[in-house]
Amino acid sequence: MTRIDGKALSNTIKGEIAAEVKRISMSQQRPPHLAAVLVGDDPASAVYVRNKVTSCEKIGFESTLIKKRESTTEEELLEIVRELNEDKDVDGFIVQLPLPKHINEHRITLAIDPNKDVDGFHPTNFGKMAQGLPTFLPATPFGIMTMLDRYNIEIQGKNCVVLGRSNIVGTPISILLSRKAKPGNATVTLCHSRTKNLEEYTRKADVIVIALGIPNYLKADMVKEGVVIIDVGINRIEAPERKSGYKLVGDADFDEVAPKCSFITPVPGGVGPMTVTSLLTNTLQSYKNTFKIQ
Ligand code: GUN
């Protein structure tokens, strides 16, 4: 069993980006610049956004964090998006999801300039991804594809089962895995809350990507020997023995399934750090697009 070290791989790629930034930004007026908008006080979102911003500093990007109170209106947020769209000093930006219930996420996503949509959530970019055209790939699926690639995990012709059909992870990763590309060319089944006899699919899977948000859901009797498990879940569960009072676990029951796996991503330290790295890669690409750098 190989534990896929997303943290180490992410650091390697960040080093590569930092070297490239150093090389190309010397001849430009400014370094790449990522902005992040955080609305409300969801503690997990605050941690994710902080990671994104501090990663920027480490690799020589400029970053801006725009923090807004929970009661921010949709109109106020749309105005922030419009300003970021217009700001020539910002290469890309993200609006951290989920947003407070009174804000329509689709309206916000649609308002983002696709050329600055480094999350790859805008339908223009999502459509390009589906057709295999160059675009910003959504950060988490992009991170997963990079992991599969750098660990040389063969998925061509394999049975891949994706659990969860969110716009952020399940749906785009199912498209990327099935695309005629490398990595890709897999036979993909997308399972969700209405799938009947889910175990029948998971037991036949060569690769499982699980993004359900249910702690320790996937058990040993649901998978076959030699399976590859990519665990996207980041769930906080109570842990009175810890100082913080909680710990993070994935959607797969790691201790149970790991002995049966050929490869598995841990939580934390698996997919999470790769998501951040992909966002940085997209921001660098946006900067290169702006300054017409090859
Ligand atoms: N919430 C969970 N994952 C993501 C992500 O990749 N981008 C944004 N903007 N919000 C998220």
Residue tagged active-site, from 14, 91, 96, 116: 96
For ligand 1, mutation pick of 84, 97, 234, 283 (most atoms within 8 Å of CB)? 97
Per-residue pLDDT 10s for the chain (294 aa) are 999 999 999 999 999 999 999 999 888 889 999 999 999 999 999 999 999 999 999 999 999 999 999 999 999 999 999 999 999 999 999 999 999 999 999 999 999 999 999 999 999 999 999 999 999 999 999 999 999 999 999 999 999 999 999 999 999 999 999 999 999 999 999 999 999 999 999 999 999 999 999 999 999 999 999 999 999 999 999 999 999 999 999 999 999 999 999 999 999 999 999 999 999 999 999 999 999 998
Tell me which residue of 35, 46, 48, 101 sits closest to 72, measured CA to CA.
Answer: 101
The structural domains of the chain, ordered by start, are: 30-113 (3.40.50.10860), 139-272 (3.40.50.720)
The structure tokens listed for 36 are 């992040």
Q: What 3-state class would DSSP assign to 75? A: helix
**What is the pLDDT at residue 294?**
85
CA distances from 262 to 19, 121, 158, 210, 224 (A): 33, 32, 14, 16, 10
In degrees, to the nearest 5, what angle opens at C-alpha 134 toward C-alphas 187 and 292? 160
Computed on alpha carbons and rounded to an integer, the radius of gyration of the chain in Å comes to 19
Report the nearest atom of ligand 1 relative to the CA of 119: 7
Render 220-262 in DSSP notation, one character per residue.
GGGS-TTEEEEE---EEEE-TTSSSSEEEE-SB-HHHHGGGEE
116 is catalytic: no
199: enclosing H helix or E strand: helix 198-202
d(CA 81, CA 233): 28
196 is catalytic: no
Work out whether the CA dihedral 133, 139, 141, 147 comes out positive or negative.
positive
Closest residue CA from atom 8 of ligand 1: 96
Residue tagged active-site, from 117, 119, 206, 251: 119
Residue 96 C-alpha to ligand 1 middle, in angstroms? 5
